[in-house]
Chain A
Amino acid sequence: MATVAAVIASTHHPFYYRASTATGDDRPPFADEWVTKIEAFRETLTRAEPDVLVMVGSDHFHQLWLDNMPQFLVGKAPFFDANFYNEEREFGLPRMTLRGQEDLAAHILRQGLDADFDLAFSNELRIDHSITCPIITLRPQADLPIVPIYTNIFAPPLPQPKRFVQLGRTLRELVESWPEDKRVAIIGTGHLSLELGGPRQFGEHGPDPEFDRKAVDWIASGDIEGCLAEVTLDSLHHPGNATHGFMDFMLMMGVAGDGAKADYVDSLDLFHTMEAYFTWYPNGVPA
């Protein structure tokens, strides 16, 4: 059976690639500290020696559109091309091609359907920065096969927060029941408080530092119950109009498990939004 080698939850900041590769006058003052933190975070994945990456993210109206919008979708294909013209344009992201782990995708789809998650699927999925940002930060050599899983945190009506947690718990079971002797890291990215296209965007900090502080505490301590008691689809509007991306963190809390304290926690207060990085080792911290 497969082993969950690491569970990783992270923000996905599309500006990291450009900030970390910029030189001279183009290099922002926060870049060096950011790179130092990312390199330490990357080491938490490297140390787990994964063979396969399950990547949870959310398409930002790149391939998925309102005429045909899935709530939860699994990519099942031998390859995934990545990043779109408008992400190259705005963020300078490179084009990439990642290998897919089709047999694990098939297993997650079949067993997920049988576990009462009506998962959609795609056999030709171009993935966006919600998945390529963590590849760039955590596995820049992009050498491991992936199974991308998309959630709808973007186009209402959205699934309830508890459904994200439930899917996370189930995803953990599905990976652990995959009959291959492989080490799988489950990586998911979302947001803390975030405002896009509204009056609170691009401030000196994230739009709601108090929410961010609570969110980091919930995730770091595995306090699913406390988080679900406070977070609703309505409440997530208040910290910022794009804060529903926090539900991908809730999904990852479900993967990590109730009361599972993160083995690695870090954050970085940037303009516009706070970065946060978490790693759990369900089978013990690697040597």
Chain B
Amino acid sequence: MSTYLLDKFLFTVDRDPALVERYREDPVGTVTWWEQEMANTLLHCIPAEKTTWLAFTPEERRALSEHDHVALFELGAHPFLTLTLFIAMFERDHGPLEYQRAYGRAMQHISMPYPDIAT
């Protein structure tokens, strides 16, 4: 489990307009590139001071690569980060609030307690 790394992906992509578009258009390529080049970048530090141990599990990599927001929720990714990024990518293809409501409907099978989001 690397819930922190899932959140780090969502956080770093959501705050960068170019990465939001790149992830929308090419999720597999973006996730592969990000895990190789960005996953172990320690924010606020020089590139040489890389982290040495962060990697996705196969299921985490799959969920990100397939834009599977339901699986991300079930894996404990922070729901605010996932929602914000996915609205940025996909709301434009839908009418007002249509995407947000469909996003919720896709998770109707999930009951309390929700997956733990602690990192």
Residues of chain A whose beta carbon lies under 8 Å from any beta carbon of chain B? 60-62, 65-68, 84-86, 89-90, 154-157, 195-203, 237-238, 241-242, 271
Contact = CB atoms under 8 A, between A and B. Distances in A.
A61 B78 contact: yes
Given A84-B15, A90-B88, A198 B104 contact: yes
- Chain A's interface: helix, strand, loop or mixed, by majority? loop
Interface in B65-81: 69, 73, 78-81
Interface of B: 4, 7-8, 11, 14-15, 17, 42-44, 69, 73, 78-84, 87-88, 97, 100-101, 103-105, 107-110, 112-114, 117-119
A196 to B, nearest CB: 5
Nearest to B51: A67
A199 B108 contact: yes
Given A68-B44, A202-B100, A203-B104, 20 more contacts: A61-B80, A65-B43, A66-B7, A66-B11, A67-B43, A67-B44, A89-B17, A90-B87, A90-B88, A155-B119, A156-B118, A156-B119, A157-B118, A197-B82, A197-B103, A199-B104, A199-B109, A199-B110, A237-B112, A241-B79
Given A66-B4, A90-B87, A200 B104 contact: yes
B104 A201 contact: yes
Nearest to A271: B97
Contacts of B105: 199
A272 to B, nearest CB: 8
B73 to A, nearest CB: 7
A199 B115 CA distance: 13
Contact of A67 (B42, B82, B97, B107): B42
Nearest to A242: B80
Contacts of A196: 79-80, 83
A85 B12 CA distance: 12
A156 B8 CA distance: 15
A86 B110 contact: no
Given A157-B118, A237-B112, A237-B113, A201 B103 contact: yes
A202 B84 contact: no
Contacts, number: 79
A156 B117 contact: yes
A28 B17 CA distance: 28
A189 to B, nearest CB: 16
Nearest to B101: A202
Contacts of A61: 11, 78, 80-81
Contacts of A85: 15, 17
B80 A60 contact: yes
Given A65-B11, A238-B112, A202 B118 contact: no
A86 B84 contact: yes
A25 to B, nearest CB: 11
18 contacts: A61-B81, A65-B11, A66-B4, A66-B7, A66-B8, A85-B17, A90-B84, A90-B87, A195-B104, A197-B69, A197-B82, A198-B104, A201-B83, A201-B103, A202-B104, A238-B112, A241-B79, A242-B79
Contacts of A199: 104-105, 107-110
Nearest to A88: B17
A90 B8 CA distance: 20
Contacts of B69: 197
A200 B118 CA distance: 20
A237 B79 contact: no
Contacts of B119: 66, 155-156
Contacts of B4: 66
A195 B107 CA distance: 12
Contacts of B81: 61
A38 B83 CA distance: 27
A230 to B, nearest CB: 17
